[in-house]
Chains A and B, each alone.
Chain A
Amino acid sequence: SAVISQKPSRDICQRGTSLTIQCQVDSQVTMMFWYRQQPGQSLTLIATANQGSEATYESGFVIDKFPISRPNLTFSTLTVSNMSPEDSSIYLCSSWRGTDTQYFGPGTRLTVL
């Protein structure tokens, strides 16, 4: 199975500030995915991050609010900008091992005060 780690595991932030979440995969992958899981909800795809190109955002998510970097084939960052309490969620990084199985990181639990 793929090993995906995220930093930080949790954080409490003040409104108006920004937080950058790091995701590290233990092998090279073409695509990495960022999801949001609001309290008591399912997972919603934020964007797909490909190495060497801009991320592709899903409806309702914009680059100014959630800038993403993908500097190499094993690493990606998601920044939550100008945070408000509505951004309090679990943010999850994901990638595929081959074409059969999708793996998820443990998540970053963000609380915005």
Chain B
Amino acid sequence: GESVGLHLPTLSVQEGDNSIINCAYSNSASDYFIWYKQESGKGPQFIIDIRSNMDKRQGQRVTVLLNKTVKHLSLQIAATQPGDSAVYFCAENTGGFKTIFGAGTRLFVKA
């Protein structure tokens, strides 16, 4: 596999449990936030996004929560599966098309 995620914070969960990955963003002017999943040897893949006028958005098995007061973003994965093992990145956007990535978290799912 590639070296992505070797030095990143790690979250280890049991298969079937819920996962929560947290992220602090830096720019209070950011109005669009995205979570990406990066598997070994691949580019980041869009998971879910949220705009600053919302504080929660749900997708299939995933939920993103946004707390603008403390500039905090979280990704919740329900019933985590082995296929969810990857590095997860939060990213922020200030209204243009330039996306700034935050630090990632490596998720290990134990069978």
Contacts and interface: CB of A to CB of B under 8 A. Distances in A.
Chain B CB within 10 A, most for which of A37, A92, A109: A37
B42 A106 contact: yes
B2 A43 contact: no
A17 interface: no
Given A45-B98, A102-B99, 8 more contacts: A4-B43, A33-B99, A35-B101, A45-B99, A92-B43, A99-B97, A103-B46, A109-B2
B6 A31 contact: no
A60 interface: no
B46 A101 contact: yes
Interface of B: 2-8, 34, 36, 41-46, 49, 89, 97-104
A39 B89 contact: no
Nearest to A44: B101
B34 A40 contact: no
Nearest to A39: B3
B43 A107 contact: yes
Q: Looking at chain A, what size class is its interface with the partner chain?
A: 20 to 34
Interface of A: 4, 31, 33, 35, 37, 39-45, 48, 90, 92, 94, 96, 99-107, 109
A96 B2 CA distance: 25
How would you classify the secondary structure of chain A's contact residues: helix, strand, loop or mixed? Answer: strand
B3 A48 contact: no
29 contacts: A4-B43, A33-B98, A33-B99, A35-B101, A37-B4, A39-B3, A39-B4, A40-B5, A40-B7, A41-B7, A42-B89, A42-B102, A42-B104, A44-B101, A45-B100, A90-B2, A92-B44, A94-B43, A94-B99, A96-B97, A100-B49, A101-B46, A101-B49, A102-B97, A102-B99, A104-B43, A104-B45, A106-B42, A109-B2
A33 B96 CA distance: 12
A109 B1 CA distance: 12
A42 B26 CA distance: 15
A31 B99 CA distance: 12
B60 to A, nearest CB: 16
Closest 5 CB pairs of A and B: A40-B7, A104-B43, A40-B6, A39-B3, A43-B101
